[in-house]
Structure 1
């Protein structure tokens, strides 16, 4: 299903243009399991936020091959939905209404699938950045996915709930810390915390992938075609693959994130795993193969 007739008519009557990729952007079925990515919209980021500090002479031809000429980047935001007949699992919850006007469309995407927030049984967080966490609460500051069990890695939860994080994260990210603490505080009495390597749900294993944030988690999905939900361990389809060893200022610990990325892409390519990336194009579902000095992303 793309856009439900009910949603389309309501939107058209209001004279509002439908956002790009409002519906399920990409889907894969593995046995009884169905995995889809839903568009939460996109971000608008300065080029230097992603590529700042990288060697310009080597960076330029990579950007040219991908048609990046400067200005702003507009990475998509792909929220992963897993359904297997008994569970409806969201990996992250999008940006909500308070981060960027181009993001926060997950509720509309769910409506387009005729899926209500009350039907979601589990919410698993990769990390606490705004585009992954700030959609947690509704306009009344109540949990939007009221019937879901919420789960996050213990190290990530502790980091954002630590009052000292706001003073150590850096001025540019201070609002991230305040926003995460407020939202996680609203569910602190009901959230389940887990560790690296733990089977957080049957068929879903947590994999610590630190660097983008201190406790960032990816999730390995045990299916007929095994896959990994990457979150922001890989954040773009060009430099992160071609030169995964280059640190990026978009990561909180850029050196550690690069080390994590190199090992992760080696595993994904060697094991032939399907990957699902939050900011990768064409729905974010694909594979990776070795190429030249690094790797190549193969969407679809």
Structure 2
């Protein structure tokens, strides 16, 4: 019968105690992670439940086809939907091409120092509060000219530009360098390589970044309060004048003493949440499809 030396028994006991301690620590962190996920989902469920409970009663055909109501009348958000579509669409036209060009310059042409400097600039711009952007555009364009949908779109484009540029730049960095080198080795110019090889490879990630940026700016209120909030209660497509938008309409409805208009504000918030949800689902689907295509290739 062999006996284990006391030193070896002490080492075995210490290792067993250390193993139990590590397992308990792992279970504790796993429990904290699960609890955090449950809390996050619970908060989202609480927000959605509240919005559904207070706003679903106002959702009807008239709600989507009539303009914002006057005092004592019934109405809807048709004017706000049209105005938001026009302003967000113009913001996309302003921001997306410039954002992609900035990302291409950072990834394909700029040196390391210039690229790092541009990243810092974009990160700082991405962190600027929306209300500061609204005040900036107000002082730069609105003062002396009056509010207009174009100025509102410009303020949203300023917010969208750094988001799309950084997302596009990160996606372009993932494209294998071997694809660029193979194209350049065949005598293809750099700009042609970028347009024909790099961008098609990264198009899924670029679209994902664009969709997420659009979902973010579509709900911004502060810039539009300074640039496109004094609008008539009617459906209009004249972008040279201020147009009603969904976020501003939610703000106005929420400040109203009329319970019906407050309920309309909740209903408009529900529409905005569903719009953001649909855009995020589209972004996930596009990203998953592009990932499967890349894995298949």
Q: TM-score, normalised by structure 2?
A: 0.22
Name the structure where strand makes up a greater proportion of residues: 1
Larger radius of gyration: 2
Greater relative contact order structure (CA < 8 Å, 6+ sep) = 2
